[in-house]
Structure 1
Amino acid sequence: MTLKVSGGSLRITELRKAVSFVFNGSQGELYSAGEAPPPRGEPGEPMVDTTDERWPIFSMVQIHGSSTEDPNWVGPGLTIDVPAEMVGYRYEADEALTIVSDMESGRFVKFGSNGVLGSTLLDTATGEVVQYVPGAGRVHLMNSSLPAFTETVKKFSERFPFYSSDSDASEIAAAAADVDQLIRHIDPPALVQDGFWATLIDDMEIGDFSTEGILDLA
């Protein structure tokens, strides 16, 4: 058995078996060479398992809308950058921008979906991001602007994981409180009563955002 020092790690090679190991001094663990070390978060933070393909990762997409894609389109074309999706699939970006034809023409541009029926819209008159459900008769505020929406989705996604399926009530409440403060810091108007984010926090408080539940949706 020989010992070699390479790149700050101690390699132990057993020639007979031709198996290498790497000792990571910062984590105090031994693992096979060629394998990634076990995932670790900062002290006091939830563990992040980047080896699971279902693990949500924040990303942005660019989508375009014009009369070519949508016959109801009014005015010049528009291209915007928006989050691709968010943890829990409460929002997903569409492939193209479209006009919501059963509302004031040209004012609301749909760029995403909420659940089965809901739509995520950009109010071109106010710059707000709103939620719309057909038949509801009106829209509900999600964020006060598109940049605020993007930042909120990003920080919310980066906060994942929130808790596990066997977490106790105090852990679940603490995670929901963290998200409440996160949103309040970015965009206080987004926490309007019965709005998108307030409802999401309510769902967090009843355990709908466990790591296992989120990954099973992927």
Structure 2
Amino acid sequence: MIRDFPLLPLPQYAVVRIGCSPGVPDENAADLRDIGVPAGLIGYEYQPLAEATLLDGVGESGLVVFGTSGLCGRLGIDVASRRVVQIPKIGSATAWHVNRDLGTFHQCVAATIARFPFYEEDEEDRFQEVADELRRLLAALDDTALADNGLWETLCDDVAMGDYANWEEV
């Protein structure tokens, strides 16, 4: 039996303001209030939380978590360096670099969404080429964005494998 599923809407860049739980340092709360966070990326690569929280024991002086990434990951701002980082799950002491600051995170999200969809129909032979284009675009915005195991490098690897080829068919 074939089922008709509605096409998913293309993602659009937007900014949301989220609240902050008690304990979030004033500087970070001000950034989240003034700059906001992207309303999303593509699929479950990144989604904002309703409220930012401080996680102690991650990074030098804690992590202000503002979003989810994938099934269990979290994105946040390292309190000491103000870098955006990703942790694979709550309770992890491992933090992978994402962007040098919240502003460049916004720029990378906006540029990635603007480049989406990544492929045209029948472009299986271009998966790697498109991933390389995306890497160049992200690196031009933030020369630190393509850190090993980071959000952006992983996304580019997924693009190279064709993971976003059937977006409209989902």
Shorter-normalised TM-score: what interval?
Answer: 0.7 to 0.9
TM-score, L = length of structure 1? 0.65
Establish whether residue 132 from structure 1 lines up as the match of residue 87 from structure 2.
yes
Establish whether residue 109 from structure 1 lines up as the match of residue 60 from structure 2.
no
Tell me by how many angstroms 1:165 deviates: 5.7
The answer on whether the counterparts of 2:8 and 2:167 sit within 8 Å (CA) in structure 1 is: no
Alpha-carbon RMSD across the aligned residues, in angstroms, is 2.3
Structure 1 unaligned blocks of 5 or more:
1-51, 68-72
Give the aligned partner of residue 197 of structure 1: 152
Query: Which of 53, 66, 78 is matched with 2:29 structurally?
Result: 78
The answer on whether the counterparts of 1:54 and 1:215 sit within 8 Å (CA) in structure 2 is: no
TM-score, L = length of structure 2? 0.82
Q: Supply the distance in 1 between the matched residues of 2:101 and 2:168 (Cα, whole angstroms).
A: 27
* Bigger Rg over Cα: 1
Q: Specify which structure has the bigger relative contact order, considering alpha-carbon pairs within 8 angstroms and separated by 6 or more residues.
A: 2
Cα deviation digits, residues 114-139 of structure 1 (max 9, x gap): 01100001012101000012354310
Q: How many equivalent pairs are there?
A: 158
Q: Supply the distance in 2 between the matched residues of 1:182 and 1:95 (Cα, whole angstroms).
A: 29
Query: Which of 24, 38, 54 is matched with 2:9 structurally?
Result: 54
The answer on whether the counterparts of 2:56 and 2:62 sit within 8 Å (CA) in structure 1 is: no
Q: Supply the distance in 1 between the matched residues of 2:154 and 2:83 (Cα, whole angstroms).
A: 18
Amino acid at match of 1:85: G
Cα deviation digits, residues 12-37 of structure 1 (max 9, x gap): xxxxxxxxxxxxxxxxxxxxxxxxxx
The answer on whether the counterparts of 1:129 and 1:141 sit within 8 Å (CA) in structure 2 is: yes
Q: Supply the distance in 1 between the matched residues of 2:15 and 2:104 (Cα, whole angstroms).
A: 14
Q: Supply the distance in 2 between the matched residues of 1:164 and 1:201 (Cα, whole angstroms).
A: 17
Going by fraction, where is helix more abundant, 1 or 2? 2
Q: Supply the distance in 2 between the matched residues of 1:86 and 1:140 (Cα, whole angstroms).
A: 18
Going by fraction, where is strand more abundant, 1 or 2? 1
Amino acid at match of 1:148: T
Tell me by how many angstroms 1:99 deviates: 1.2
- Percentage identity across aligned positions? 29
Query: Which of 47, 51, 54 is matched with 1:96 structurally?
Result: 51
Q: Given the superposition, is the C-alpha separation of residues 53 and 193 from structure 1 closer, same or farther in structure 2, using an over 3 Å criterion?
A: closer
For the residue of structure 1 that corresponds to 2:17, the secondary structure is: strand
Tell me by how many angstroms 1:66 deviates: 3.3
The answer on whether the counterparts of 1:94 and 1:111 sit within 8 Å (CA) in structure 2 is: yes
